[in-house]
Amino acid sequence: MQGFRTELENPIVQKDIIELEKKIRLFREGKIHEEKFRSLRLARGVYGQRQQGVQMVRIKLPYGKVTTRQLLKISDVSDEYATGNLHITTRQDIQIHFVSLDRTPELWTELEKDSITLREACGNTVRNVTGSAMAGVDPEEPFDVTPYAHAFFEYLLRNPISQDMGRKFKIAFSSSEKDSAFAFMHDLGFVPKIKVVDGEEVRGFKVVLGGGLGSQPHIAVPVTEFLHEDLIIPFAESVIRIFDRYGERTKRHKARLKYLIQDMGAEAFLELAEKERLALKSKVFKINREVAQPVLPTVSVPVVEITAPAQYEQWLKTNIYPQKQQGYVSVGIRVQNGDIKTPIARKLAALVSEVAADDIRLTNTQGIMLRFVKEESLPYVFEKLNELNLAAPGFESVIDVTSCPGTDTCNLGISNSTGITRELERVILNEYPDLIFNKDITIKISGCINSCGQHAMAAIGFHGSSMKIGKLVAPALQVLLGGGPTGNGGGVASEKIIKVPSKRGPQVLRTLLDDYFANAQEGELFNEYYNRQGKIYFYDLLNPIGKQENITEDDFIDWEQNEPYKPEIGVGECASVLIDLVATLLYEAEERLQWSEDSFQAEDYADSIYHAYTGFINSAKALLVSEGVKTNTQAGIVKDFDATFVASGKITLPSTFNELVYQINQNEPTREFAAYYLEQSKIFNRQLAEYRNSQLVNPEN
């Protein structure tokens, strides 16, 4: 597999970092509008925190892979620029918090020295491509999906089609039909398949489209049972281009792909995507299947005496996964709340160098997977991990609760998710210790409705909320039940049952578990039990816990807090907010035209054409805004510009604006067409800038 292209020596990377530094300076000088600057920094992984004046920086780690050298570099950066804590996310990124905005270019520079990028980790972009942590070693996989996930990362990074969409876009690759990457909850999900054609094995993928969690979960719809491996990137590019063009851009809560699919229908959407193929850079994209062979330790580890035999036996049963490579296993590490301190991370990196492949995988359950560990090394590995408090049994079991940072740092957090996580894990360990062996029941917690903690796909889910009790407001938890993957790209969203005061979360958990153990049929899984009993049954079961008659003073204090609860919700930055400032839009159009020129000179003709297209769109939007015309989608901008300016004769074009701009998907991306299209976009931009200037000089016109 080819290495990351995001190296510091890369002039594109250098330009990116210099641009961020320049834009920060202009923002400080008041020369860039705050909302426009927000969009720019989010696309570079810099995210505002709940605490004023500091930033969260999200580090993008494709499919969760991180080397020991990269882990040490991230630890150094966290110590120097943040708090010495690494937070593993459900999208296999690492976040560091409390970073000064002015130091982010310097921080980024340090990370790029070891091929680590921040680019498009946040904002209205294609987010981190996630994948099964067992990819490449999974005994059940048809083939290793790692090179495919990596190819997507490289192809889409800085790609003009995904720089400023209406909302974020998420992609996942599962290693097998178990769907451990949760393809069903992604905008695009891929499950590997093999067909035998004329006696030969052919690789491909089942593809699902339009999934998402958030306030209104939607399970991805199947597109095809088998798409040839050479077609998955062209198909994805077509999908992203259509989402960019037709996706909602004003109503943020309706701007995800799932809503566009629901509005126009999957069939109509796919027809548009198919028509887009002519304009693609590559009609077929052959992915390099080669994966660098892992460098394995050659020195035998010392023989050790097990100091905690009972814990060791539990650990072997719950945290160890046989690999398809004989004699090797993968080791799962539970990381409470996804938080690991840098001194521990450094010692873990040293241990990996001794006992495993230099191929650490962060999991979408906020854990860590060590790979290619020799079976005979397990006693030594256990003892060393136990010294670091990283040998707790129950990896990805009931006790391994997934949670987002919630009100610790997030603007959107409503109630504490980290404290309740620790409390629920304590309850399970002390009162239901055998559940460390149960990997059927999943517990996931988010600090708000947006499901960063994946509560909307949990067997038992909670999300932060609040509830009015008399004249006061108490922190609350919305309880959801019955969700999770069903395999092969399918899944079920959990259902809302009842809202209870946060401090009663442990009581909810005890009630659910006790009822399940008392009444489930032999061999009946939790979600099967939930489906058999039904939503009303569980509402009636939990309703006494939610009643307000027996409220106490403690119910008004959130987990791990001392003061009474105060609901404080900031402005979310999960995606950038577009601004309707005419001058800014015209400036953005000119910037896109310069990018188009740069791409043309580099002979990247498809990229040049797409930048010229966004130049058309931003120029047209600027004039529509000046007339007070509301714009929701790029397609709407094209339609409204014709109606407002061309049909009225205010702007004269050689054709309709529709015919002019949509040449983009009616021509091959040749040098000749790229040159023509760029020139037309430049002429259009100049014409509109002159019209705008005349408006300012003669406002009565």
Q: Is residue 82 part of a domain?
A: no
Residue 302 counted as domain residue: no
Cα three-residue angle 95-101-103, rounded to 5 degrees: 90
Output phi, psi for 443, to 5 deg.
-120, 125
Residue 438 shares a structural domain with residue 378: no
Q: Which of these three, 521, 556, 591, is where a domain ends?
A: 556
Query: Residue 221: helix, strand or coil by DSSP?
Result: strand
Same domain (yes/no): 524, 612: no
Residue 4 is predicted with a pLDDT of 37
pLDDT of amino acid 337: 95
Render 91-128 in DSSP notation, one character per residue: TS-EEEEEE-GGGHHHHHHHHHTTT-B-TTSSSSSB-P
* 165 plus 263 within the same structural domain: yes
Same domain, 638 and 656: yes
CATH code at position 587? 1.20.120.330
Residue 552 is assigned to a structural domain of this protein:
yes
Same domain assignment for residues 137 and 36: no
The C-alpha atoms of residue 89 and residue 77 are separated, in whole angstroms, by 18
In this structure, the answer to whether residues 531 and 550 fall within a common structural domain is yes
Please check whether residues 522 and 653 belong to one and the same domain: no
Residues 136 and 214 in one domain: yes
Is position 395 within any domain?
no
At 653, list the tokens: 């074009």
188-197/200-209 β-pairing: antiparallel
Give 212's DSSP letter: B
Mean pLDDT, consecutive 10-residue segments, the chain of 701 residues? 48 81 84 74 83 90 97 97 96 96 91 92 92 98 98 95 91 98 97 95 97 92 97 98 93 90 96 96 94 83 95 98 97 97 98 97 98 97 98 98 89 87 97 97 94 95 91 93 97 96 96 98 97 97 92 90 77 44 80 94 96 96 90 94 95 95 96 97 94 71 46
Closest to 404 in 3D by CA, of 448, 363, 366, 452:
452
| 378: its two tokens | 């397990």
SS3 402: strand
Q: Do 220 and 186 meet the contact criterion of CB atoms below 8 Å apart?
A: yes
Q: Is 199 left (phi over 0), alpha (psi -120 to 50) or beta?
A: left
Side-chain-facing half-sphere of 627: CA atoms under 13 Å: 19
Task: Please state the φ and ψ torsions of residue 96, each to the nearest 5 degrees.
Answer: -125, 150
Environment class of 496 (CB within 10 Å of its CB; exposed 0-12, middle 13-18, buried 19+)? middle
Are 271 and 135 found together in one domain? yes
Asked, for residue 72, whether it belongs to a domain, the answer is no
Number of domains in the chain: 5
Q: Has residue 396 been placed in a domain?
A: no
Domain boundary at 264, 292, 320, which? 292
- CATH number for the domain that contains residue 480: 3.30.413.10
Q: Name the helix (H) or strand (E) containing 539.
A: helix 535-546
> What is the reported pLDDT for 12?
78
Between helix 11-28 and helix 34-42 the angle, nearest 10°, is 150
Convert 467-510 into a string of H (helix), E (strand) and C (coil).
EEECCEEEEEEEEEECCEEEECCEEECCEEEEEEEHHHHHHHHH
pLDDT at 697: 62
Is residue 674 domain-shared with residue 593, that is, in the same domain? yes
Q: What range does the domain containing 235 cover?
A: 124-292
Residue pair 402/422 in contact (Cβ under 8 Å)? The answer is no
Q: Would 74 be classed as within a structural domain?
A: no
Residues 351 and 457 in one domain: no
Same-domain check for residues 470 and 537:
yes
Contact (CB, 8 A) for 123 and 43? yes
Has residue 316 been placed in a domain?
yes
